[in-house]
């Protein structure tokens, strides 16, 4: 059974009406970064700890579960797979001033 990458899996985000901005994102092989934007069908993640100055687009179909108590999004893939996701739209890629 294939998963639509742009839709949450059933049961992966039980409080789907809550935005995930500020949540930590963890891949199967370690932390990825922090959710900067919750686009509904994707999460824009500031991956500064993993890739300096980078933002990555994470399709919500990669979300295995969301832990609202720990404010953590758990993915079902390694960081390298997220790194191969399509690039975000141009208006989402502007760098933040540090």
Q: What is the pLDDT of residues 64-88, one digit of tens each?
A: 999 999 999 999 999 888 877 665 5
Cα distance between residue 91 and residue 13, in whole Å: 27
What is the separation, in whole angstroms, between the first and last Cα of the chain? 43
Give yes or no for residue 90 having a pLDDT over 50.
no
What pLDDT does residue 92 have? 47
Q: Which residues pair with 25 in a beta bridge?
A: 33, 73
- The DSSP secondary-structure symbol of 3 reads -
Q: What is the mean pLDDT of residues 4-33?
A: 90
DSSP code per residue over 31-67: EEEEEEEE-SSEEEEE-TTTSTT-EEEEEGGGEEEEE
Please report, for residues 44, 57, 59, 80, the alpha-carbon distance to residue 52 in angstroms, rounded to integers and kept in the order given. 15, 15, 21, 15
Q: What is the pLDDT of residues 22-57, one digit of tens each?
A: 999 999 999 999 999 999 889 999 988 677 778 889
Q: Is 83 exposed, middle or buried (0-12, 13-18, 19+ CB in 10 A)?
A: middle
């Amino acid at each position: 059974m294939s998963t639509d990458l742009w839709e949450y899996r059933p049961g992966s985000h039980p409080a789907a009406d809550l935005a995930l901005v500020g949540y930590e994102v963890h891949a199967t092989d370690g932390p990825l970064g922090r959710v900067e934007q919750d686009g509904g069908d994707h999460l824009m993640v500031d991956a500064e700890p993993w890739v300096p100055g980078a933002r990555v687009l994470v399709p919500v179909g990669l979300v295995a579960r969301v832990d609202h108590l720990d404010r953590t999004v758990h993915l079902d893939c390694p960081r390298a797979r997220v790194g191969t996701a399509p690039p975000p739209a141009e208006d989402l890629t502007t760098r933040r001033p540090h």
